[in-house]
Amino acid sequence: MSCEFKVVIPARYGSSRLPGKPLISIAGRAMVLHVCDRAKAAGAAEIVVATDDARIQAVVEDYGFAAVMTSSAHESGTERLAEVAALYKWNKDDIIVNLQGDEPLIHPETIGETIVHFHNQSVNVVNIMSRLNTKKAFEDKNNVKVVVDKNNDALYYSREPIPSSWNGWENIPRYMQTGVIAFRRDTLIAFNAMPETCLEQIESVDMNRILETGGKIRMVLTDAITIGVDVPEELKAAEVMLKDDELLGQYL
């Protein structure tokens, strides 16, 4: 049995570190368009770019994908996702994947890895995580770290290096949250109706809101390499990796 799913791609223009980030050209195409094509390759039933800027909307629509203007007051991509889910009036059990517009290297199979877990009716949120292989990456506050329990459900998200490396860092599990998060629609709407929580604000990680209010998030480990482009150095790395990316030739 397969699960149909929608993909919403939050794409905000006003990044403090890379202004206009979704429209930055990589391999001859705006970053957000790479993400759209990869969502399509994953088999999404619908793809919608949620933005706060008419320039992004125009580029996306000219390319043939749907885009909708959302509130500029949102504090997170998840809030932008919830606005789109309510606007489109999708069904309560529909699976909606939050795919960040700064993940130009995301692999379709990585998106699909979130969907299979929804066959378990107790699972309402699924988040992809990847390994952090260097101490520098483990300590980088731009990388959101996550620790999990024996069922691979998230225990906590932090920008600090967790778990603690005081007893040696080489053999501890070092996982990074990625921008691929899937929700049942009703769970997403309920999340958006709740006020921000203390640890969410402290860490600047909105998924802590779910954990603080008693919810669960199933974490899925992927070995696929992806980059959430936040700073110029990551942009350069993404450009280099895209040159050798096999999927690129399928949609360019």
Residues 6+ apart with CB under 8 A from 89: none
- What's the pLDDT at 1? 41
Q: Is the dihedral of CA 101, 102, 108, 114 positive or negative?
A: negative
- Encode pLDDT of 128-155 as tens digits: 999 999 999 999 998 999 999 999 999 9
Domain count, the chain: 1
* CATH number, position 42: 3.90.550.10
Q: What is the pTM of this model?
A: 0.90
pLDDT of residue 57: 97
Q: Is 64 exposed, middle or buried (0-12, 13-18, 19+ CB in 10 A)?
A: exposed
Structural domain span for residue 34: 5-251
Distance CA 105, CA 126 (A): 20
| DSSP string for 123-174 | --EEEEEEE--SHHHHH-TTSPEEEE-TTSBEEEEESS-SS--TT-STTS--
Q: According to the model, what pLDDT value does residue 252 have? A: 62
Q: Which residues pair with 145 in a beta bridge?
A: 158, 176
The ranges of the chain with pLDDT < 70 are 1-2, 252
Write the pLDDT tens digit of every residue in 60-100: 999 999 999 998 888 787 888 999 998 988 888 899 999 99
Residue 2 has a pLDDT of 55
The whole-number pLDDT of residue 244 equals 84
